[in-house]
């Protein structure tokens, strides 16, 4: 079983807490234009957000492979653009050429963040929606469940595996 995707994280450290606090403080300053009066609400909000982010963080560490990220980003942007144009074409076509269906995809990614990332990425691509992620099966709603679109789902899973540096089962 791949370990890169399932490495347990230790409890949070003061360094991690201070980094998050600094980031959220900077974000608050940016959003409010550094208005001193905003800290009446901002102070408690930043502290609460820091505590919640530490409490709700994933107990599983994950890493992206830099080379995988460099390959994934253009792939994702191209498919987002292409999918958006395809959905637009279908929506404006007089006969509305869609064949919506639920596709059941057996996942080859190991359990963990890479599967969740895949499901969330599918939601960001036009014409697709992750309906359910259960065990090793992902249910995807597609505007057109043609074989070519199902094959694209498999290619996306391969790209996510490359991004997370995990092997497909």
Mark whether 46 and 89 lie in a shared domain.
no
Residues 121 and 74 in one domain: yes
pLDDT tens digits for range 28-76? 999 888 888 888 998 999 999 999 888 877 666 667 889 999 999 999 9
1 in a structural domain:
no
Among residues 17, 38, 61, the one where a domain terminates is 61
Task: Quote the domain boundaries for residue 45.
Answer: 7-61
pLDDT one-digit tens code per residue, 139-168: 999 998 887 888 999 999 999 999 999 989
Instruction: Give whole-number Cα distances, 112 to 8, 92, 97, 121, 149, in Å.
Output: 11, 39, 36, 15, 24
Report the b/e string of 49-69 with b at 16+ CB within 10 A: bbeebeeeeeeeebeebeebe
Q: Would you say residue 97 lies in a domain?
A: yes
Specify whether 22 is located in the same domain as 105. no
CA distance 98 to 120: 23
Task: Indicate whether 85 belongs to any domain.
Answer: yes
Q: Is the domain of 132 the same as that of 51?
A: no
Confidence of residue 6 (pLDDT cuts 50, 70, 90): very low
What's the pLDDT score for residue 60?
62
Is the separation of the CB atoms in 127 and 168 below 8 Å? no
pTM over 0.85: no
Residue 16 lies in a domain: yes
Number of domains into which the chain is organized: 2
Residue 136's pLDDT is what? 93
The tokens of 169 are what? Answer: 């089962």
- The average pLDDT across 72-99 equals 93
């Amino acid at each position: 079983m791949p370990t890169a995707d399932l490495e347990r994280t230790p409890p949070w450290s003061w360094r991690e807490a201070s980094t998050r606090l600094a980031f959220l403080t900077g974000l608050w300053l940016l959003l409010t234009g550094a208005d001193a009066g905003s800290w009446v609400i901002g102070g408690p909000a930043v502290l609460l957000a820091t505590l919640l982010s530490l409490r709700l963080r994933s107990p599983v560490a994950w890493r992206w492979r830099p080379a995988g990220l460099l390959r994934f980003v253009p792939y994702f942007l191209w498919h987002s653009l292409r999918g958006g144009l395809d959905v637009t074409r279908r929506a404006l076509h007089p006969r509305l050429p869609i064949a919506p269906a639920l596709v059941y995809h057996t996942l080859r990614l190991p359990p963990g963040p890479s599967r969740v990332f895949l499901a969330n990425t599918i939601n960001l691509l036009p014409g697709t929606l992750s309906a359910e992620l259960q065990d090793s099966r992902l249910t995807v709603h597609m505007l057109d469940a043609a074989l070519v679109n199902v094959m694209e789902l498999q290619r996306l899973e391969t790209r996510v595996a490359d991004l997370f540096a995990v092997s497909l089962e």
